[in-house]
Structure 1
């Protein structure tokens, strides 16, 4: 590392959907010569070691996650516990403050990038370290959920408030359904970490930063970025889409041999991420919807509520009817390699930020099944604003889906109708933009320039 190189520390929330994009950005920055000290739960390091593409510049700093009452022993990430326990995990992360402060004092980075630990600026700033809130959510979602211009009573969110965007939000098709508003208001008003509501935590994390960064580009979310820069009144730095590196390993033989039994672009791949756990009736409606299409399918789903395995939760006779053409399993699956396989033609996704990016740069048609948090807004962005996929119709009041709705959405993007062709064309155009030669380099270079600019401004102040 030369004198012109930057040293950045990173401390993301202990969720796979946060740890992974932070490491993706670390790889992009290390590729152009910058050093990254990456704080990560100690026992989680082996799962991420092969994603570290620059071990000479990216150092994993193991964090011992303290045990707190209410958490099973050994819990480190959100994948280890159900959603109601995440607040306890946040408490554990807050208890790492002394270790993080002592380490920052020792390693002396120029910047620290963070998201949920709202206390980091109060620790880092006295040490002369600039603080960047690196948000893994989309600017469209953050903009919609912001309290900018809203009149909240006692800082409490209501379902009615979330039914509409904040004043000045860009003209858009992004809206939330009643069931999403209820869930989001409840989440915002929930204690997330001891003595701190989630909405308060996020608000402080954003406003206490020196700048806010996103992994997106103006080609996709320009108006939402402009809105946020105005709303927060501080620099907004875009890292570009931060596309994941192509897999360095080939798809395992078990997956390959199964997929190669089907014609090109015919297999549906369905995945709802590492944390979504459906009720049993909704799990069954989803897999029955896949079956109803008549197309081959591969579904990577967690066992539903009350079931120990996905096999035990399948509808009666399902395995026999779909033997050889449909596969449902509860194991981790190599999503990027599967999406790249020639036989896979449709991706049914929960619209988590990482999956959204992987879907957009794939050649698969997109079917959107959002469940929590920002996923609904991501789905509206893709289906209504960008028109690159189709969202599965749900009950607006309770969020239920039916097998018929799942089948309808898949067929809408997989048939030869005029609508399907338009969606495929829109997706193809956006994919070409995101994969355009030089785009990613432009954004990473600009990201680094703006970081240098922040350092210079502090020296002049």
Structure 2
């Protein structure tokens, strides 16, 4: 191997929101001439094969996910099981340690990038491999959720503690609502993998690393990055926005022909990602809110709790009333291509990190409907700090969503008001920054420079 060519191994959590951004970074590194060995569940590899833009430099290493009691046979990713079973899947991932260690010993990469498998540094470092915690969450969210400067009782999180940011957190509008705090505290204090709380796992994963990496840029989250470098006492490496690759295929004829029946920038596209499953009443409030706008809409949603299909869960008479102007389906949809269609003018999103980036570089107005984890903080970063979208109002105590609130938020950015124009202008400015020629190349170049520095003991 060329002395200037780095060899980077990757082993992210078995969730689509983790696997995908790791592959995006792999493509950027490979485009710069570096080799990537990507550990991925065996049956999941075919789903990602066509996203590998550099098969000569990016190698998928199949991982057999052990069966764990409580998981359906053949489970490989979070897309296969509901959230309560994720802890069992984490246990299965932990059981791959011997295979990962043996393979790392064989392939001898310079670095391994990881997130949830907190044990990776303990097996990689004795082999002379540097360990980078590559976090798919936003620095703003990670900073708010950090235990730096907090007073935890017996290392346990409380709702009161999460209602306020940690000491030293940048001046910001980012805060959590009571219902979000309850959900987050329950998650942090619950077992995630056998014998380990989620908060403990994440703390070890961050602090055991040689450096921490994010796919963001100082132009968007500079103060939060500075805070994190101080909080974790580790070098911070920024990969830039790591934007989605331009689609290599056209939008399927079925989607394209349906969208072409509407005027430019009038269609609402609503998607809550691959894992959000709503209660039936909240599912119905959401789709009724889309209907209430009077605008055409396309919603990609999973069937709600207790329903076998999206169609059976729709409100009575909904399909008939919206025939020809509104479509709700439960299938996967090509989000980047849909957001790029001239008829689509609004993106209602759950604010997952990947969707957040795709929304920011689109020309669509952004409506934010966060549900779990970091999504609330992402929404406040976009709506309050950056002022590039509007968040749907919710019940602060119970998180209740109403059709009126959904409609109000969408109309706020889709009408001709001064507010809508200001949001659009702010979004356009940020989009121009993120798409600025040479920005991605600059950040990937700096990312690689910092890797070389770590390899040779510079700047540690």
Q: Give yes or no for TM over 0.5.
A: yes
Superimposed CA distance per residue, residues 337-392 of structure 1 (whole angstroms, 9 cap, x where no aligned partner): 00000000000000000000000000000000000000000000000000000000
Q: SS state of the match for residue 276, structure 1? A: coil
Superimposed CA distance per residue, residues 133-161 of structure 1 (whole angstroms, 9 cap, x where no aligned partner): 00000000000000001110111001111
Q: SS state of the match for residue 436, structure 2? A: coil
Contact 2:453-2:459 at 8 Å conserved across structures: no
* Structure 2: distance between partners of 1:388 and 1:72: 42
Q: SS state of the match for residue 258, structure 1? A: helix
**Aligned residue number for residue 343 of structure 2:** 343
* Structure 2: distance between partners of 1:416 and 1:337: 26
Task: Structure 2: state its 5+ residue gaps.
Answer: none
Q: CA deviation at 1:88?
A: 0.2
Q: SS state of the match for residue 242, structure 2? A: coil
* Structure 1: distance between partners of 2:326 and 2:455: 55
* Structure 2: distance between partners of 1:64 and 1:405: 45
Contact 2:135-2:213 at 8 Å conserved across structures: yes
Q: SS state of the match for residue 457, structure 1? A: coil
Q: CA deviation at 1:2?
A: 2.0
Superimposed CA distance per residue, residues 261-313 of structure 1 (whole angstroms, 9 cap, x where no aligned partner): 00000000000000000000000000000000000000000000000000000
* Structure 2: distance between partners of 1:135 and 1:172: 21
Q: CA deviation at 1:459?
A: 12
* Structure 1: distance between partners of 2:459 and 2:157: 40
Q: SS state of the match for residue 225, structure 2? A: helix
Q: SS state of the match for residue 294, structure 2? A: coil
Q: SS state of the match for residue 390, structure 1? A: strand
**Aligned residue number for residue 223 of structure 1:** 223
Superimposed CA distance per residue, residues 176-222 of structure 1 (whole angstroms, 9 cap, x where no aligned partner): 00000000000000000000000000000000000000000000000
**Aligned residue number for residue 204 of structure 1:** 204
Q: CA deviation at 1:166?
A: 0.4
Superimposed CA distance per residue, residues 216-255 of structure 1 (whole angstroms, 9 cap, x where no aligned partner): 0000000000000000111000000000100101100000
* Structure 2: distance between partners of 1:451 and 1:156: 34
* Structure 2: distance between partners of 1:256 and 1:416: 27
Q: SS state of the match for residue 366, structure 1? A: strand
**Aligned residue number for residue 147 of structure 1:** 147
* Structure 2: distance between partners of 1:379 and 1:201: 25
Within 5 Å, which residues of 2 pair with 1:302-317?
302-317=302-317
How many correspondences in the alignment? 460
RMSD over aligned Cα atoms: 0.9
1:84 matched to 2:84? The reply is yes
**Aligned residue number for residue 281 of structure 2:** 281
Q: CA deviation at 1:410?
A: 0.2
Q: CA deviation at 1:3?
A: 1.8
* Structure 2: distance between partners of 1:280 and 1:393: 19
Q: CA deviation at 1:422?
A: 0.3
* Structure 2: distance between partners of 1:404 and 1:188: 33
* Structure 1: distance between partners of 2:120 and 2:144: 25
* Structure 2: distance between partners of 1:255 and 1:36: 35
Superimposed CA distance per residue, residues 315-346 of structure 1 (whole angstroms, 9 cap, x where no aligned partner): 00000000000000000000000000000000
**Aligned residue number for residue 252 of structure 1:** 252
Q: CA deviation at 1:4?
A: 0.6
* Structure 2: distance between partners of 1:234 and 1:338: 39
Q: CA deviation at 1:47?
A: 0.3
* Structure 1: distance between partners of 2:447 and 2:228: 17
Contact 2:179-2:397 at 8 Å conserved across structures: yes
Moved over 3 A (4+): none
In the superposition, the TM-score normalised over structure 2's length comes to 0.99
Q: SS state of the match for residue 459, structure 2? A: helix
Contact 2:67-2:92 at 8 Å conserved across structures: yes
Once the two structures are overlaid, the 10-residue window that deviates more, 173-182 or 149-158, is 149-158
Task: Structure 1: state its 5+ residue gaps.
Answer: none
* Structure 1: distance between partners of 2:281 and 2:459: 60
**Aligned residue number for residue 375 of structure 1:** 375
In the superposition, the TM-score normalised over structure 1's length comes to 0.99
* Structure 2: distance between partners of 1:155 and 1:234: 21
1:318 matched to 2:318? The reply is yes
Superimposed CA distance per residue, residues 376-414 of structure 1 (whole angstroms, 9 cap, x where no aligned partner): 000000000000000000000000110000000000000
Q: SS state of the match for residue 452, structure 2? A: helix
Q: SS state of the match for residue 161, structure 2? A: helix
1:109 matched to 2:109? The reply is yes
* Structure 2: distance between partners of 1:95 and 1:123: 13
Q: SS state of the match for residue 126, structure 2? A: helix
Q: SS state of the match for residue 458, structure 1? A: coil
* Structure 1: distance between partners of 2:20 and 2:442: 22
* Structure 2: distance between partners of 1:367 and 1:458: 43
Q: CA deviation at 1:458?
A: 7.2
